[in-house]
Amino acid sequence: MSFRAEIDLDSTPVLETERLILRIPEPADAEEFAVAMSDPEVMRYVALGETRTFEEAREAIERFRYNWRVDGFGVFAVARRSDGRVIGRASLLAWDPLTWDHSTRAEIGERSEIEIGWVFARHAWRHGYATEAALAARDWVITAQRPARLISIINPRNEPSKRVAAKIGARYERDIVRPPGYVAELWTT
């Protein structure tokens, strides 16, 4: 079974909630993405906890757009409806459960798992935005992609993300080891 979608980026979904707009990231979003990605406190529990530069944020957006083109899902830029400012991202990423590396569903194939994740700039914390965005992304991907389940890969010390996962209906399943050898919690919906 092939998962390659090759969609037109102009036809990607725009999701709206009471306070947020979720849309495909644009190159112009790199500055706002870099606000979060360059903040050590924001990145503390993301992958290896390394901060990123503006250039790396720009490159990430290109990867996110590529994922949308080939899989038909990917990372949403999350903007406040009130002012249009990008405050974070809600991610739908394909993971290989044999290696716990992420790639595209087109490359991994049938065994791929879809992760729902979230990263928000520190100024957007404690407003419920992560939960609101994650619920919208979850509901959309369940309808659009019909995955058997959704996963979230969470650093064991990241209590705020565990609370968001619980609020969207996820439960801790087990620990996994991600390359290059760090332990993460696997939550499933």
Position 127 pLDDT exceeds 50: yes
Query: Which of the pair, 179 or 120, is modelled with greater confidence?
Result: 120
pLDDT in tens, 66-100: 999 999 999 999 999 999 999 999 999 999 999 99
Query: Which of the pair, 8 or 24, is modelled with greater confidence?
Result: 24
Looking at the whole model, is its pTM more than 0.95? no
pLDDT at position 3 is 47
Strand partners, 103: 94
Domains, the chain, ranges and CATH?
A: 9-95+105-150 (3.40.630.30)
pLDDT > 90 fraction of the chain, expressed in percent and rounded:
87
pLDDT in tens, 132-180: 999 999 999 999 999 999 999 999 999 999 999 999 999 999 999 998 8
Q: Quote the mean pLDDT of the chain.
A: 93
